[in-house]
Structures are given as structure tokens and as C-alpha cells.
Amino acid sequence: MCGIVGYVGAQQATPLLLEGLTRLEHRGYDSAGIALLGGTGIKVAKRAGRVRDLAEGLPKRFAGRIGIGHTRWATHGPANDVNAHPHTDAKGLVAVVHNGIIDNAASLRQRLADEGIDLVSDTDTEVLAHLVALSEESTLEGKVVEALAAVDGTYGLAVVHADFPDRLVVARNGSPLLIGVGEREMYVASDLAAIVRHTTTVAHLGDGEIATVTAGGFTTYGGDLRPVTRTAETVDVDPAAYETGEHESFMHKEMLEQPAAAARVLSGRLDERFGTAHLGGLNMDARETRAIRRVKILGCGSAYYVGQMGAALVEELARIPADAEAASEFRYRDPVIEADTLYVAVSQSGETIDTLLAVQEIRRKGGRVVGLVNVVGSAIARECDGGIYLHAGPEVAVASTKALTNMFLGFALLALQLGRVRDLSIADGRRLIHGLDRIPEQIQEILDRESEIAAVAEQLAAAESLFFIGRVRGFPVAREGAQKFKEISYRHAEAYQTSELKHGPLALVSEVVPTVAIVPDDELTDRNVGALHEIAARRGPLVVITHADVDLGEVECVRIDVPRNERELDPVLLVVPLQLLAFHAALQLGHDIDKPRNLAKSVTVE
Ligand code: F6R
């Protein structure tokens, strides 16, 4: 959420900053700006809109070899030119870009106003520029530390100062910040995506640390300005993963990458001989694993819904009571943390602040947390006691797809391992392993029917309002289907348990309110089909995601059959047509698929 990029070296900074911002745009896209530090001091260009609007509006001579850039997702104040970052002090000596939220911004604004300083924007960030400018410390590092001492909140930030023309200073507390090492040039970024074409050798700043970055290198310090060592490491990443290639959008590309991504998360982790999974990264021996009495899964948004699917897997396979909870609510209800509960944090980005804070709360109270995380070395991955990396590859589209598939498979591996040190038989373990082995090709089978599903989506796109319904295993699938649909099509899509429909929402069903029903071939099929009749009797149009040979009776509907696997694994296949439905409905409606309205990738603010 929000993106930062910075450059210091021998090249002109503007094209590098604009390119970096374009690659960060999925993290915020309501306004953008850059500040350059040149021979004549600091120059700033910023405006509401996309990075391309910024680029088109840049002054002719906008040169400098040190600069910082930002793409914004508004928190304080609307998306307009003034609120766009970078922010400067009154004299224009200091420019700051910032991700995160300054919680005490209101009192700091008042303090600055009392000192006669005019604040021009509505943002929390602007106070930082003034505080740095007011500091009487002799070094830029000292000024930044003094300014930050007054601040409560989260930040990843980059600062330039006209009196220190050879450097950028960056700082981090809760929002990621990395330093990229080039040949006599250096980069800073909130996300590797911004700089991946120029360097993959990076050092991650820790929370509470700051760094000086010059063309010749970088130095890292703790908050007290005592040097700390941070070594740059080369990351194994293919820059093409950050390009759309032949696809019209990242979401499309990432949906189609699912078979390969699914194969990666399973690779080397299935043990056919013992009918189990090997997850060394959990850092738990068999005795500790057997001592677990409860599993509590925490995630946000779609990760929470997959967490619900994961809880069902853990209960079914390991027979351990399990549930999932929205991480954003968890710590506010002062939860009881139990020593024999295994807490599982699930996150694609590994940065979602609500999930991170939940992890910290659990660990503060002595609980054990493992992570199911996609981004290696991310804050949540580092905060956990152990975990499973999802190996989905970089996910750029705001609407998550391949990471969610791999989260489900990660839960299946976890449930298998937990189950096999308890009552799950070797035969059942092997049955699931064979099922998991088939998942990548079965996802491919569904993706191969994209044009058929696209035709259904075009009908759904016409509806202002839709229901997504399912029961038990199918309910989190319905929730994820509704989430994806509303997120990118902006249609009102509501998920309900099929069994609850008749207790109220059936009142809304009519010929203009379609229902997408999840009806797998399982112990609830007959009851699900009964509900379809009730909807059809009220002239509600129906799309049914089901298995071949499931008898839907005389119900008038469009059916989409998914391949059969083991029942426990059904959700991961049932959800794929829902991704395609959402994608093609949004395409039909002409929306910007990768940059849905009001949203951004990686929610790093509470
Ligand atoms: C939906 C979506 C969001 C994320 C949620 C958690 O498509 O992407 O609901 O699932 O913001 O994000 P992570 O997984 O990064 O913690």
C-alpha cells in the first residue's frame, strides 16, 4: 500500500523513478510524485492520477541524479495534487515520501501550527518534512532520528535535504524498505518490483532502523544512530515475473500461472512412503506437533477465507478443533492465548499490518505462531516461529489468485502432517497425496475452459446484485467468489450459507438477482439441490459450480463442472471458475482489472 522508490548515482534519476513508480502502481494509484535533488536544490513534481499523468506533466528541464518517488493510496485527505507525496517543509529544503500512518499527526500538526508553521496539505506525512527541517542536529541522519522520536505510528520513508546533496536517508518502522545495490549507484524501494530490472542485490532495513544511502554505498543504524550491520544479498527472482508479457493484465497472467505455482508449493514436500507431508520450516518436532490441542488461523480478506478452508482441512484430516478469524479483529478482543494452540498466520504479502499485529500480540503473550506466507523474508515471515513458504512467485494483481491457491495447498500439507502424527491412516494420507498430485493438471483443465466460463460471466456482469452460496466446505469458496467478484466488477456480491438463505435473504432473490451456487458432490448435495429448487421457484437465475454427474434435477441453470478429486480438496478446484467469472465480468464492464477502485495491494495500514 503506497510505493516508494529512490535513486542516487550517476544517471538521471527521473526516468528510473518513473519506471519504478509504474512497477509499484499496484500498491497505490490515486496520485504520484517525485522530488529531485540537483544543483539548485529540491524540485518537486506531483499530481493526482496515475504515474503516466505525472510523466506527461513533468516540466521540460527536470534533472537531478538523486531523487525519491511515491505512488499513493490515500489515508489522510483526498487524492489531489497537494496531498500527493513528496511533501516539503516551508522553505523547500526537505522532501519526504512516506508509507504508513502517523498516529499522532493531529497533535503534531497542532504543535507546528502553534509554532507558526503553515501546513498546506491534509496529510500526516507533511509533519515529517517540517520536523526534519526544524531539527538543529548537524547531520541529516540526526535530523531524521530527532523527527521520528516525536512520531507514533508506522513508516517506511525516504528523505532528501538540500544541505546534504550526496545522500538519501531512509527509515523503517512497520512498512517495508529495502536498499538495492548497483554499480556505483544505489536504489531504495518499498518493494523489489520497483528496482528489479536494475538490481536484485538488496538489503532489508529492520524495524526501528535508518540508513544513509549514497552513490558509493549504504550504512545502517539503529534508532540511536549506533551502526548496525545489514548485508546485501542477491535474491533469486526472475524480473519477467513483474511483467504482464503477452497478457492483458497481471490477474490474467497470475490465474494462468496457477498450475505451475501449485506444483511448486507441493514439490519436495509429499512423502508417499509414509503418506505424509514434510514441512521442516515449521520448526516443530513430533512431540510438539502431537501436543497441539487447537489450531487458530488468522488472515485478512481472501486470506481469511482460505484460512476457513484450511481450518476445515485441519479438523477433517487431523481431527484437531480449528477455526479461522479475521486478523484485523483478533487483537482488539483481548484474546486468550493458549500454549497448546498452534496459531497460523496466512498472508501473501507478509506485510498486512493487521495480520502482523495479531502475530506480535500472540507472541507477546507466549503463543507459538507459524506463517503461511508467500513473500520470502517479509515482516510476517520473520516474526513467526516457523512456517511454510508458498512459492507462488510474485503476485502483482490486487485481486489475489495464485497465492490463495497455494495457501489452500499449504493448509492441506499442514493438515496432512498434523493428521499423520495422530489418527489419520497411512491409506488416507496416501489417498490425499495422490489427490494433491493431480491438482495442478486439474486446475489446468478448468483454465482450458476459460472461454466457456467467460460467456457465463458476461451474463452475470449485467446484474447489479448477486448471491454466492455454499455450505460447509463450499461456504468459504462462496465467500471468496463473492469477494473476487465485488472487488473487480464493483457489483454487489453477497456470500451466504445455502442453508441460511431461507432465513432471510431469499427475499431478495428475483429474476434480476442471480445466484452462483457451489454444489460439490458430497454428503450435502441433495440438500444443496433442494435450495436450488427454492431459488428457481422464485425465478432466480442460477449458475452452479459442481461436478460432472451430479444430478441437479429439473432445475434450470447454467452449470460449470469442475474435475473430481478427494472431497477434502474440492475447494481449491471449485474456486478457480469463480476467479474466471469475476475476471471476465470485470473485463466485460470495462474496469481496470489490476487496479480496482479504492483498493491497493498489500494493506500496510490498520
Ligand atoms: C483479495 C485480496 C485481499 C487480500 C488481503 C490479505 O483478492 O487480495 O483480500 O487477500 O488484503 O492480503 P495478504 O494475503 O497479503 O495478507
Residue 517, domain CATH: 3.40.50.10490
| Residue 28, in any domain of the structure | yes
Q: What is the model's pLDDT at position 440?
A: 98
Pocket test residue of 344, 352, 583 for ligand 1, highest count of atoms within 8 A of CB: 352
Task: Report which residue type is found at 371.
Answer: G
Q: Does residue 177 register a pLDDT over 90?
A: yes
Residues 342 and 412 in one domain: yes
C-alpha of residue 394 to centroid of ligand 1, in Å: 14
Residues 311 and 237 in one domain: no
Task: Report which residue type is found at 81.
Answer: D
Q: What is the model's pLDDT at position 40?
A: 87
Identify the residue whose C-alpha is closest to ligand 1 atom 10.
Answer: 302
Q: Does residue 130 register a pLDDT over 80?
A: yes
Find the mean pLDDT for residues 510-530. Answer: 96
| Residue 599, in any domain of the structure | no
Residues 282 and 382 in one domain: yes
Find the mean pLDDT for residues 569-586. Answer: 98
Q: What percent of the chain lies above the pLDDT cut of 90?
A: 91
Residues 513 and 569 in one domain: yes
Higher local confidence (pLDDT), 77 or 256: 256
- State pLDDT tens for residues 282-337: 999 989 999 999 999 999 999 999 999 999 999 999 999 999 999 999 999 999 99
Q: Does residue 1 register a pLDDT over 80?
A: no
Q: What is the model's pLDDT at position 2?
A: 87
| Whether residue 2 lies in the annotated active site | yes
Domain count within the chain? 3
What's the gap between Cα 601 and its chain centre? Answer: 5
Pocket test residue of 348, 355, 485 for ligand 1, highest count of atoms within 8 A of CB: 348
C-alpha of residue 400 to centroid of ligand 1, in Å: 6
Q: Does residue 372 register a pLDDT over 90?
A: yes
Identify the residue whose C-alpha is closest to ligand 1 atom 9.
Answer: 301
Paired with 44 in beta bridges are 35
Q: Does residue 601 register a pLDDT over 90?
A: no
Atom of ligand 1 nearest to the CA of 352: 16
pLDDT-based confidence at residue 74 (cuts at 50, 70, 90): confident
Find the mean pLDDT for residues 548-564. Answer: 95
- Among 447, 465, 486, residue at a domain's last position: 447
Atom of ligand 1 nearest to the CA of 355: 16
Atom of ligand 1 nearest to the CA of 349: 15
pLDDT-based confidence at residue 589 (cuts at 50, 70, 90): very high
Q: What span, in angstroms and rounded, lies between the C-alpha atoms of 312 and 99?
A: 36
- State pLDDT tens for residues 320-332: 999 999 999 999 9
C-alpha of residue 200 to centroid of ligand 1, in Å: 25
H or E element at residue 571: helix 570-588
- State pLDDT tens for residues 46-69: 999 999 999 999 998 899 999 999
- State pLDDT tens for residues 432-463: 999 999 999 999 999 999 999 999 999 999 99
pLDDT-based confidence at residue 109 (cuts at 50, 70, 90): very high
Q: What is the model's pLDDT at position 425?
A: 98
Q: What is the model's pLDDT at position 186?
A: 98
Higher local confidence (pLDDT), 377 or 414: 414
Q: Does residue 181 register a pLDDT over 80?
A: yes
Atom of ligand 1 nearest to the CA of 407: 14
| Residue 524, in any domain of the structure | yes
Q: What is the model's pLDDT at position 122?
A: 95
Q: What is the model's pLDDT at position 237?
A: 86
Residues with CB under 6 A from ligand 1: 300-303, 347-349, 352, 355, 399-400, 483, 487, 602-603
Compute CA distances 587 → 246, 251, 400, 456, 593, whole Å: 16, 11, 16, 13, 7
- Among 385, 414, 447, residue at a domain's last position: 447
Residues 212 and 336 in one domain: no
- Under a CB-based contact definition with an 8 Å cutoff, are residues 360 and 334 in contact? no
H or E element at residue 171: strand 168-173
Look up the domain containing 129 and give its range: 2-242
Residues 519 and 577 in one domain: yes
C-alpha of residue 326 to centroid of ligand 1, in Å: 11
Task: Report which residue type is found at 201.
Answer: T
Among residues 296, 486, 595, 601, the one annotated as catalytic is 601
Identify the residue whose C-alpha is closest to ligand 1 atom 5.
Answer: 301
Pocket test residue of 251, 309, 349, 408 for ligand 1, highest count of atoms within 8 A of CB: 349
| Residue 600, in any domain of the structure | no
- State pLDDT tens for residues 187-240: 999 999 999 999 999 999 999 999 999 999 999 999 999 999 999 999 988 888
Residues 473 and 570 in one domain: yes
Residues 35 and 56 in one domain: yes
Q: In this structure, how many other beta carbons lie within 10 angstroms of the beta carbon of residue 119?
A: 18
Residues 527 and 443 in one domain: no
C-alpha of residue 375 to centroid of ligand 1, in Å: 13
The domain that holds 227 is classified in CATH as 3.60.20.10
Whats the size of the chain, residue-wise? 606
Q: What percent of the chain lies above the pLDDT cut of 70?
A: 100
Compute CA distances 96 → 16, 194, 352, 502, whole Å: 18, 18, 23, 55
Residues 325 and 288 in one domain: yes
Rg (Cα) of the chain, in Å, rounded? 25
Q: What is the model's pLDDT at position 513?
A: 97
Q: pTM for this one?
A: 0.93
- State pLDDT tens for residues 351-363: 999 999 999 999 9
Q: Does residue 377 register a pLDDT over 90?
A: no
Q: Does residue 602 register a pLDDT over 90?
A: no
Average pLDDT value for the chain? 95
C-alpha of residue 26 to centroid of ligand 1, in Å: 13
Q: What span, in angstroms and rounded, lies between the C-alpha atoms of 557 and 401?
A: 26
Q: Does residue 161 register a pLDDT over 90?
A: yes
pLDDT-based confidence at residue 464 (cuts at 50, 70, 90): very high
Q: Does residue 273 register a pLDDT over 90?
A: yes
Identify the residue whose C-alpha is closest to ligand 1 atom 7.
Answer: 399
- Among 415, 447, 479, residue at a domain's last position: 447
Q: If we measure between CA atoms, which residue out of 171, 150, 44 comes closest to residue 100? A: 171
Q: What is the model's pLDDT at position 238?
A: 86
Residues 251 and 325 in one domain: yes
Residues 393 and 508 in one domain: no
Pocket test residue of 297, 373, 400, 485 for ligand 1, highest count of atoms within 8 A of CB: 400
Q: What is the model's pLDDT at position 71?
A: 94
